[in-house]
């Protein structure tokens, strides 16, 4: 039952927002009593936390799968971008923004977990790119990885990149190309150009 509650709450929170969905709404949607939810989650904050970390784990598993099967670090980053974009398509209510505003402690913990996961993943990808001659061998992997995370977080700031001017797809596509062009070798640049040309939407 606990997993069923998390699954239904995830759908409702991501589509309608953390703030607007009540425990009554979740109970009604599931056809159960609110008391049943409180058996597993003492309050809404605990449920929001469980949902946030559950979504994070799903995305981490997907990224790990991509990293273990990708042809090269350039395509790997694009595959991860597509995977994350497909996940974000369901999010109609800016859940990251709502989480930051209404549940700042959960947001701070999640943000740190996101950084740690992305930092490890991107460092591995950068090392593989250097080893295969696709990325320059003089890049500072630790610095580039942190800059990449900072940039990916920054493009989600709607006060700087309003959605009426920039779609999230455009922002992620453009930032990814910006990031890769700064670190590729001539060999990597050919693969990047070829990939962009053949995957233009």
Mean per-residue pLDDT, 95-116: 91
Mean pLDDT of the chain: 91
The total of structural domains in the chain comes to: 1
What is the domain extent for residue 133?
43-198
Give the lowest-confidence range in 94-98, 106-110, 121-125. 94-98
Mean per-residue pLDDT, 20-46: 96
Mean per-residue pLDDT, 11-36: 94
Q: Token digits for 63? A: 């990224």
Q: What gap in Å lies between CA 104 and CA 109, rounded to an integer?
A: 9
Q: Is residue 7 part of a domain?
A: no
Mean per-residue pLDDT, 110-120: 93
Q: Is residue 36 part of a domain?
A: no
C-alpha dihedral sign at 82, 83, 86, 90: negative
Q: Is residue 13 part of a domain?
A: no
Q: Is residue 147 part of a domain?
A: yes
For the segment 55-85, what is each residue's pLDDT rounded down to a tens digit?
Answer: 999 999 999 999 999 899 999 999 988 888 8
Secondary structure of the chain: what % helix, strand, coil (to 5)? Answer: 75, 0, 25
Q: What gap in Å lies between CA 67 and CA 128, rounded to an integer?
A: 11
Q: Is the pLDDT of residue 191 over 60?
A: yes
* CATH number, domain with residue 56: 1.10.357.10
CA angle 138, 140, 146 (to 5 degrees): 150
Q: Is residue 35 part of a domain?
A: no
pLDDT tier, 89 (very low <50, low <70, confident <90, very high otherwise): low
Q: Token digits for 27? A: 């109970």
The pLDDT score that the predictor gives to residue 197 is: 87
**Predicted model pTM:** 0.84
The pLDDT score that the predictor gives to residue 160 is: 94
């Amino acid at each position: 039952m606990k997993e069923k509650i998390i699954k239904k709450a995830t759908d409702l929170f991501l589509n309608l927002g953390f703030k607007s969905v009540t425990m009554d709404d979740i109970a009604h949607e599931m056809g159960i009593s609110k008391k049943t939810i409180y058996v597993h989650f003492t309050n809404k904050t605990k449920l929001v936390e469980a949902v946030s970390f559950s979504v994070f784990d799903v995305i981490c598993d997907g990224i790990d799968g991509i990293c273990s099967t990708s042809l090269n670090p350039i395509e790997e980053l694009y595959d991860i971008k597509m995977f994350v974009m497909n996940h974000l398509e369901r999010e109609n209510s800016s859940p990251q923004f709502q989480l930051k505003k209404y549940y700042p402690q959960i947001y701070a913990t999640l943000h740190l977990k996101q950084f740690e996961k992305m930092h490890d993943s991107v460092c591995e990808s950068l090392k593989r790119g250097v080893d295969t001659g696709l990325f320059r061998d003089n890049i500072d992997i630790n610095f580039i990885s942190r800059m990449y995370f900072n940039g990916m977080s920054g493009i989600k700031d709607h006060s700087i990149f309003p959605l009426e001017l920039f779609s999230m797809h455009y922002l992620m596509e453009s930032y990814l190309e910006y990031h890769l062009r700064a670190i590729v070798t001539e060999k990597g640049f050919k693969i990047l150009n070829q990939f962009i040309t053949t995957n233009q939407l």
